[in-house]
DNA sequence: GCAAAATGTCATGGT
DNA sequence: ACACCATGACATTTT
């Protein structure tokens, strides 16, 4: 009988910054023309680069460069490739960011196709190109849902990530299949009129496929150009770090070199910023702290960019919720903190976190009027965001924000309705920006900023809270509100959303405190159960879809492998046939050849005998 | 009005 | 024992 030895746990540390750091270093090397071993000649210009980078990004370069081993190779590209199209692609290869304008997107697309640029999948161009070509003039009001917008969203929503990445889907690991893609928004449309102009030549967009740790320097673009860069909070981020600043992608920008000024790395910041831009509310970013003069200076200096101080990144609570490592362990605590009305009874240390949230949310709330933005721009931004969170797709299942968004958007045509399609909920960690946005949205739609108590949770403003407010209630039509029916019967002293959002502990405390009637108690427990189950069902469905998606990817991979193997087999067959023919030919020659040599050999053999 | 998709709810089993 | 979660099945709503 053998006794098992002590179990050995194997841990893996995966650096979230490493790949980006490498890429950044390569870009620096390229700019300094250090270690560049290839010169690419396009039209009349030459570009120094690293063959390994080119080869790893482009099929074309791969085939051309891997066959040569000599240093300082010069590759002259054919006329099909232009500087206009190649330069952004080269930059993309080194920065994972693609700068493009309406004018050059086609050219870039063409060159990318020609060069076989990976990671710039069809999804990017298939959406962008037609959008820009068709939608250039479709500057429509964004308020209210219009059909085309809806159908566009629908198509995006139904478009599986695998569909989006037909090109790279075979090569990319699932988590790569777009989660890195980011679209960021920049400001600069301060003066945009209500009818936003179509994306014009002056507006440059930026696809960012880099990891989160973008340097602010990389965002300095042409003057007056709009950038769309949506930093993501991708689920692919490693979860092994311990320090919050490291774990949380939103906080880890401290590792970047430009400490003074940071791009708002958190997706929250960018999306929010984007939204703010949509609303011409761009003065300052989401902040946990009141902006200092310095901040303001930065903001003004970097007009057109979203720069953000480190300290103004997403509040820790949100980040913790987001961070994979923390999501499970701490979500409860955070949940309780954020949702319990009597926060002090749960944990004092975290009050600050909560306050930060409060401040964030209140500051997020748009003040007044909305500014419409070009539908094309919105759709592009939406598409980018959507496409780049393939793994985060059912977000809105987080009970509160979700419902809130749904309700508010459905109810009053909120400008944020398009964010419904940024689906994060099923992911283990939800993206704070949606919470923020939903919160913002709700606040906006609600027409007031929530009180501290109400904002205990980012979304605990219950549309069906019998005390507080209720459009639903007043409408008498609460079909959309989950757990709607009994609301009119049961008067609760707290927002209904809290029931499902708070931790069990907080929930029990609240029940104790509120001394509910049996009727209320039953209702509350029922609501909680159903809400939890609703979320669970959403997660379950999301998992199913994910599973299908991954399996489809596997099928694609296997098919391509099979094709490759078949090709190899055919090739081998052909070469085998050749060898056979050569061999038989040789044999025939040998037998039929009365050459002197063979005669001599025969004679020699006779003599020996 | 119908069909399909999406979503909510319940029941059940596992942890 | 209880709560929570996952999931299949069914109902309802939305598209």
Q: Quick: pLDDT tens for A390-447.
A: 333 333 333 333 333 333 333 333 333 333 333 333 333 333 333 333 333 333 333 3
Asked whether residue A26 carries a pLDDT value surpassing 70, the answer given is yes
Alpha-carbon dihedral of residues A251, A256, A258, A262, nearest 10 degrees?
-30
Output the average pLDDT for chain A: 53
A12 beta carbon to strand B: under 7 Å? no
Tell me the three state secondary structure of residue A76. Answer: strand
In terms of average pLDDT, the best of A109-113, A149-153, A390-394 is: A109-113
Closest by CA to A554, choosing from A121, A211, A177, A56, is A177
Asked whether residue A542 carries a pLDDT value surpassing 80, the answer given is yes
Q: How far apart are CA A560 and CA A553, in angstroms?
A: 11
**Interatomic separation, CA of residue A394 and C1' of nucleotide B14, rounded (Å):** 24
**Interatomic separation, CA of residue A58 and C1' of nucleotide B5, rounded (Å):** 39
What's residue A576's pLDDT? 94
Question: Do A353 and A317 form a contact (C-beta atoms < 8 A)?
Answer: yes
Which nucleotide is closest, CA of A538 to its C1'?
B7
> What predicted TM-score, i.e. pTM, was given to this entire model?
0.34
Q: How far apart are CA A168 and CA A157, in angstroms?
A: 20
Task: Give the residue with minimal CA–C1' separation from B8.
Answer: A534
Give the DSSP H/E element, type plus range, for residue A407. helix A399-412
pLDDT digits (tens, 9 = 90+) for A342-376: 333 333 333 333 333 333 333 333 333 333 334 44
Q: How far apart are CA A413 and CA A303, in angstroms?
A: 30
Closest by CA to A303, choosing from A187, A222, A203, A219, is A187
**Interatomic separation, CA of residue A405 and C1' of nucleotide C15, rounded (Å):** 19
**Interatomic separation, CA of residue A154 and C1' of nucleotide C15, rounded (Å):** 10
* % residues pLDDT > 90 (chain A): 4
In terms of average pLDDT, the best of A247-251, A277-281, A502-506 is: A502-506
**Interatomic separation, CA of residue A540 and C1' of nucleotide C7, rounded (Å):** 7
A445 beta carbon to strand B: under 7 Å? no
Of the two residues A102 and A480, the one the predictor is more confident about is A102
**Interatomic separation, CA of residue A412 and C1' of nucleotide B1, rounded (Å):** 28
What's residue A11's pLDDT? 59
Closest by CA to A199, choosing from A270, A274, A146, A128, is A128
**Interatomic separation, CA of residue A150 and C1' of nucleotide B3, rounded (Å):** 20
Tell me the three state secondary structure of residue A299. Answer: helix
Residues in reach of strand C, judged by a CB distance below 7 angstroms, are A 154, 479-480, 504, 507, 528-529, 532-533, 536-537, 539-540, 543-544
Q: A582: pLDDT confidence band, cut at 50, 70 and 90?
A: very high
Give the DSSP H/E element, type plus range, for residue A595. none
**Interatomic separation, CA of residue A508 and C1' of nucleotide B5, rounded (Å):** 38
Closest by CA to A306, choosing from A214, A182, A186, A188, is A186
Question: Do A316 and A334 form a contact (C-beta atoms < 8 A)?
Answer: no
Q: How far apart are CA A581 and CA A233, in angstroms?
A: 60
Closest by CA to A366, choosing from A420, A434, A447, A291, is A447
Task: Give the residue with minimal CA–C1' separation from C7.
Answer: A540
What's residue A42's pLDDT? 87
Of the two residues A372 and A93, the one the predictor is more confident about is A93
Range 508-547, chain A: CB under 7 Å to any strand B atom: 526, 529-531, 533-534, 537-538, 541
- Exposure pattern of A505-531 as b/e (b: 16+ CB <10 Å)? ebbebbeeeeebeeebeebbeebbeeb
DSSP annotation of A17: S
Nucleotides of B under 7 A from a protein CB: 5-11
**Interatomic separation, CA of residue A224 and C1' of nucleotide B14, rounded (Å):** 58
- Give the angle A419-A245-A433 at the CA atoms, nearest 5°: 10
Q: Report CA-CA distances (Å) from A283 to A107, A261, A366, A432.
A: 35, 16, 11, 21
Task: Give the residue with minimal CA–C1' separation from B5.
Answer: A158
Q: Phi then psi for A450, rounded to 5 degrees?
A: -70, 150
pLDDT digits (tens, 9 = 90+) for A271-290: 333 333 333 333 333 333 33
Give the DSSP H/E element, type plus range, for residue A560. helix A518-592
A482 beta carbon to strand B: under 7 Å? yes
Question: Do A458 and A338 form a contact (C-beta atoms < 8 A)?
Answer: yes
Which nucleotide is closest, CA of A539 to its C1'?
C6
Closest by CA to A535, choosing from A347, A412, A402, A414, is A402
What's residue A236's pLDDT? 34
pLDDT digits (tens, 9 = 90+) for A48-81: 898 888 888 888 888 888 776 666 778 888 888 8
Q: How far apart are CA A179 and CA A157, in angstroms?
A: 15
pLDDT digits (tens, 9 = 90+) for A205-216: 454 443 333 333
In terms of average pLDDT, the best of A9-13, A33-37, A105-109 is: A33-37
Nucleotides of C under 7 A from a protein CB: 3-9, 13-15
Task: Give the residue with minimal CA–C1' separation from C5.
Answer: A536
| CA quadruple A36, A38, A41, A44: dihedral sign | positive
The pair of three-digit structure tokens given for residue A401, joined into one six-digit string: 């924000």
């Amino acid at each position: 009988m053998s006794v098992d030895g002590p179990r050995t746990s194997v841990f893996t540390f995966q650096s979230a910054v490493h790949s980006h750091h490498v890429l950044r270093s390569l870009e620096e090397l390229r700019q300094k023309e250090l270690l560049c071993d290839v010169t690419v000649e396009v039209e009349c210009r030459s570009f120094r680069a690293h063959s390994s980078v080119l080869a790893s990004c482009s099929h074309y370069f791969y085939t051309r460069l891997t066959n040569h081993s000599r240093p300082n190779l010069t590759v002259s590209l054919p006329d099909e490739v232009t500087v206009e199209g190649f330069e952004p692609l080269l930059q993309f290869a080194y920065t994972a960011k693609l700068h493009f304008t309406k004018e050059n997107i086609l050219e870039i697309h063409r060159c990318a196709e020609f060069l076989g640029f990976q990671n710039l999948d069809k999804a990017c161009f298939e959406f962008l190109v037609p959008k820009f070509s068709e939608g250039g003039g479709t500057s429509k009001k964004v308020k209210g849902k219009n059909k085309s917008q809806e159908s566009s969203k629908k198509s995006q929503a139904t478009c599986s990530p695998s569909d989006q990445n037909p090109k790279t889907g075979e090569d990319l690991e699932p988590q790569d299949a777009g989660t890195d893609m980011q679209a960021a928004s920049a400001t600069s449309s301060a003066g945009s009129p209500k009818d936003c102009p179509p994306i014009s030549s002056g507006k440059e967009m930026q696809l960012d496929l880099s990891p989160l740790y973008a340097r602010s320097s990389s965002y300095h673009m042409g003057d007056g150009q709009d950038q769309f860069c949506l930093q993501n909070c991708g689920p692919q981020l490693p979860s092994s770090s311990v320090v919050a600043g490291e774990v949380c992608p939103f906080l880890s920008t401290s590792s970047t070199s430009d400490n003074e000024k940071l791009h708002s790395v958190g997706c929250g910041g960018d999306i929010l910023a984007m939204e703010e831009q949509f609303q011409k509310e761009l003065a300052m970013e989401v902040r946990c702290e009141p902006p200092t003069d310095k901040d303001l200076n930065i903001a003004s200096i970097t007009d057109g960019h979203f720069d953000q101080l480190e300290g103004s990144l997403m509040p820790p609570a949100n980040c913790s919720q987001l961070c994979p490592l923390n999501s499970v362990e701490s979500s409860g605590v955070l949940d309780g903190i954020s949702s319990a009305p009597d926060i002090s009874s749960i944990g004092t240390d975290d009050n600050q976190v909560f306050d930060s949230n409060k401040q964030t949310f209140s500051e997020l709330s748009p003040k007044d009027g909305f500014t419409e933005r070009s539908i094309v721009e919105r759709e592009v931004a939406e598409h980018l965001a959507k496409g780049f969170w393939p793994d985060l797709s059912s977000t809105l299942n987080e009970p509160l924000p979700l419902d809130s968004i749904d309700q508010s958007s459905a109810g009053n045509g909120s400008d944020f309705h398009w964010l419904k399609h940024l689906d994060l909920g099923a992911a283990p960690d939800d993206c704070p920006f949606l919470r923020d946005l939903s919160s913002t949205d709700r606040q906006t739609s609600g027409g007031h900023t929530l009180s501290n108590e109400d904002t205990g949770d980012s979304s605990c403003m219950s549309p069906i809270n019998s005390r507080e407010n209720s459009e639903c209630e007043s409408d008498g039509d609460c079909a959309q509100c989950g757990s709607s029916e009994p609301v009119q019967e049961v008067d609760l002293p707290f927002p209904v959303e809290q029931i499902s959002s708070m931790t069990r502990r907080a929930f029990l405390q609240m029940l104790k405190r509120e001394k509910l009637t049996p009727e209320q108690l039953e209702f509350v427990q029922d609501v909680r159960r159903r809400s939890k189950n609703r979320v669970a069902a959403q997660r379950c469905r999301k998992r199913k879809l994910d599973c299908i998606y991954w399996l489809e990817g596997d099928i694609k991979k296997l098919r391509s492998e099979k094709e490759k193997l078949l090709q190899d087999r055919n090739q081998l067959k052909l070469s085998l046939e050749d060898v056979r023919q050569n061999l038989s030919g040789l044999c025939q020659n040998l037998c039929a050849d009365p050459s002197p040599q063979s005669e001599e050999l025969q004679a020699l053999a006779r003599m020996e005998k």
